[in-house]
Chain A
Amino acid sequence: MTVAPTTDVVDQSALAEAIHRLMRAQGVLFALDAPIRQSLPNLAAFFAVRYKLDPVAMSEVIEAALDADERFIREVLADEVRFVTSRQGGYVPRNEPDTHSFKQRLQDPDHPLPIDDISVVVSTSRPAITTVEPVFISDYWQVQAGLVSVRAEEDALAHELTTLSEPPVVVLVDVPLVVAPTPPLEAPVEAVPMVPTQVAPPVSFTPVHEPVVAPIPLAPPAEVVVPLVVQAAPEPPAPVVVPLPEPVVVTPPPRPMRPQVERGTIFTLADGTPIDLRRPMKELLAEHGATLAQALADKLEHDPLRRIVSFGRRYFPEANVINLGKNDLRKIRDYLLERGGPLLDTELIADVFYHNPRQSDYEGVRFSLNYRLHREKDFEFVGVEGALLWSTKGMPAIGGKRVKAAEMGQITSYLVEGLDDSLQNQSVETIREQGSVTRLLTFFEWEYGVLPLDATLTALLPGPVLPDQRSAVLRFDSPQHYTQALVEVRYPTGNRGGWLQGLEEFFHAHLIPGALITIARGQEPHSFTISYEEASETDDRILTFDEKKNKFAFANIAYFAAVDTDQLPSQSRFGRLNRLKAFPMGERRKAELILEHVIETMGEQVGTRAAPSYTLSFDDLFVGYNTLRPGSRALLQSLLTHGAEFAFDAAISEMVFYTPAPGSKAPAEDEATTEEPTEEPVTEVQPTRRRYGGRYSDDDE
């Protein structure tokens, strides 16, 4: 059995040196003067193995060794003995303050900047990341915005009002109980009705419970009631504290119950239309949908912040709209010119921007493209709902330049003046249901490829998408000839009528005046079909217009279409049509002038040479009038009714009588007789071939 060595056999200085080395190794990365701490149990457990001693005995040995060594400081923390040393020997706590800290240098710089200019200390530049500063919003506006419940607000207000309306209250001042051996008070401070007091047994201090204070009505100004501190009889030396009388708890009259406010669910529009939000949404939209949509669109349009922008019927946040740079716009324009015709927005996105419809932001990009192009003056929107087409400057004009837009708008102004009788034979509902319109082709329409945009075509064709849209481009397919033509629809503006142009080539290639054509909806929103009833080949001398000589003439034309012979301007039926004067378009705007000229030219002279008078049937007048310019029967009737020189009563006779005012002008009969011998010989060249052989120049206008 080995005997454990005693503390005497342990060299204390060697042990202290070993412990110091050990602790320096522990704090090898510490600063030289940083404290290195180690607990006594840890040291004892470590060295007990080395010295083969019991840990308790080893603790005593270590404690004795380190206490004798000045490099160690003994400290006790939570019943645990610790020894502190440092790498440089004994640990000396640092006393000088550390002034070289970042905090110190930041807050107390050695050379502070002058604060003459606030920009020295406050940056005037905008922070990169905007922060939402708390803004005080008054309760009123919070209620308006629905951030705070109205009820809570009203409760607070009502409570405040109630408090203000209640009578003043007596304030009970709780005076600390001080019992002093003073002479008894002769009288209380204030005459307050007292409840007979009962002397309590002598006690030194009686805890006075804080009374429940209730407001006590008091008419005069508030009085201060001092709680009674009564000294007991002088006999006993100990003072007696009389407890306060029971405070009178006055229950205020119950506040009248605030009536339950029935919130209104009806608001009114600007025009006074009441809208009840309790009604089912479907019912509400069915009844007021159009009005509400228009009102909402107007509000969004006039929003000064322009937070939500629109293109047609679609709306999108302005902040989400993608910008198009100059390079993008140039690429779009170049591509449109390269293709040579209006293109759909989807084609532009796919071909110019290579954007895929499967991409999540496709619809946003599409809206952005349309919205941005609409704001560019180099681009024009010519699409319809469902087919958003774009055109640009420099593209070939649809329908040529034979008819100027300004002149045509004035010529067709009768359509917007209530003289459109195209719905006499077919209703709008029928047209929309069937999706087709059938009409006769007049000479003017056939010659110039123009169709007046009357009520029947308005019912069939799509309307403008944008309020300021002036035209749309449609595609007319001919299923009988597998051809197609681009047709421009010019929408009516103000007092000018609308029309379609671009069918000149098709008309001259396949039809003649008097043919019955049918225009029907196609598969796409901007595609339509144009067809006619085919018939066996017929040769006839039909009126044509030689634009080079600026004269009407009859020419042999073979046609394969069914025609209304009453409307066909053939030489056999309307032999005098070629005598009509080809007025310039600017003159043809004058409806009365054309009417007089047609009657004088085509009518029978029934008067004398000195007082000429002409008569012509209304149907012939209609054909002759529509040779020079489009016009409805209602327009002719209106002109005949209001013209003092005309006499026409459809109920009596279909003949129209015209008696020019004396001295107005020379009778047209003379012109006709002089012109008749100079009638041009019939040419064998077809009008279509002549026209597209380059006979017409752009100087026609």
Chain B
Amino acid sequence: MDAKMVTFGETAMDKLLQWLRSSGEPKDIDELLRQYLELLSKLVMEESQ
């Protein structure tokens, strides 16, 4: 996916939710942000490659 199409806070939120549910415990906002950025980065970089 082209990063220009990324809307922060909307794109890949389902994946973030899936990760949060699978973790089974509440997460701090910093940890949540890190995971979200990794998801976005993976989404963009994989498509780019």
Contact = CB atoms under 8 A, between A and B. Distances in A.
Contacts of B8: 267, 269-270, 275, 292, 295-296, 299
Interface in A284-325: 284-285, 289, 292-293, 295-300, 303, 307-308, 310-311, 313-317, 319-320
Interface in B11-30: 12-13, 16-17, 20-21, 24-30
Given A150-B47, A267-B6, A317 B20 contact: yes
A263 B48 contact: yes
Nearest to B4: A264
A277 B12 CA distance: 14
B3 A296 contact: no
Nearest to A262: B48
Interface string B25-41: 11111101110111011
Contacts of B37: 277, 281, 284-285, 292
Interface stretch (A251-259, A360-368, A572-580): A360-368
Contacts of B43: 146
Contact of B3 (A263, A285, A311, A315): A263
A147 to B, nearest CB: 10
B27 A144 contact: no
Q: How extensive is the interface on chain B, given as a class?
A: 35 or more
A308 B19 CA distance: 11
Contacts of A317: 17, 20-21
Contacts of A284: 37
Contacts of B24: 320, 360-361, 364
Contacts of A149: 47
Q: Chain B at the A interface: mostly helix, strand, loop or mixed?
A: helix
Interface in A452-476: none
B26 A295 contact: no
B47 A285 contact: no
A577 B43 CA distance: 73
Contacts of A278: 41, 45
B47 A277 contact: no
Contact of A315 (B2, B4, B29): B29
B35 to A, nearest CB: 10
A275 B8 CA distance: 10
Contact of A296 (B1, B2, B33, B38): B33
Contact of A308 (B3, B7, B17, B47): B17
Contact of A267 (B3, B27, B32, B48): B3
Contacts of B7: 267
Interface in A105-154: 144, 146, 149-150
Given A263-B3, A296-B8, A313-B30, 4 more contacts: A296-B9, A296-B29, A299-B9, A300-B9
25 contacts: A144-B5, A146-B1, A150-B1, A263-B2, A265-B45, A277-B3, A277-B45, A278-B45, A281-B37, A285-B37, A293-B29, A296-B9, A296-B29, A299-B8, A303-B13, A308-B17, A311-B26, A313-B29, A315-B26, A315-B32, A316-B25, A317-B17, A320-B24, A360-B24, A364-B25
Interface of A: 144, 146, 149-150, 262-267, 269-270, 275, 277-278, 281, 284-285, 289, 292-293, 295-300, 303, 307-308, 310-311, 313-317, 319-320, 360-361, 363-364, 366-367
